[in-house]
Structure 1
């Protein structure tokens, strides 16, 4: 009958091997997760950079549109003022 490592008593070589095996598996899983995370980072880095570039372009366009709108409003105000001056 195989002894359970949680039974009362001192651990034996089989228990120690089970502990070492568990430790090895945890280390392997951790290493595998690190590799997966690195691959995900590498795979997502370029698309994220491209998205950031698109966002920067959109923000620049929005800024240009704001400047154009402001200039247009100023032009309309000036046109109204010129119209008032010419009527007077």
Structure 2
């Protein structure tokens, strides 16, 4: 459980420099599910390190995508791109 909390602390405090040390500490232990998690993270190590180091969010973009998807759902699938585009512009 300590490894999971340490990972959470890295996320909250933006401590990407702790990431290699954390990986080494977890690899020593016998936690197969956490090892699988680490294997996934190591596939794109640069992106994970940047995520753990740089403060940033894609929340605004995700909000716009969600709003457009809701508009499309409200139109019950009877929408082509031109009509959806017009509706998004009118709503802005």
TM-score, shorter chain, exceeding 0.5: no
**Structure in which a larger fraction of residues adopt helix:** 1
Given the two structures, how large is their TM-score scaled by the length of structure 1?
0.29
Higher relative contact order (CA 8 A, sep 6+): 2
| Structure with max Cα Rg | 1
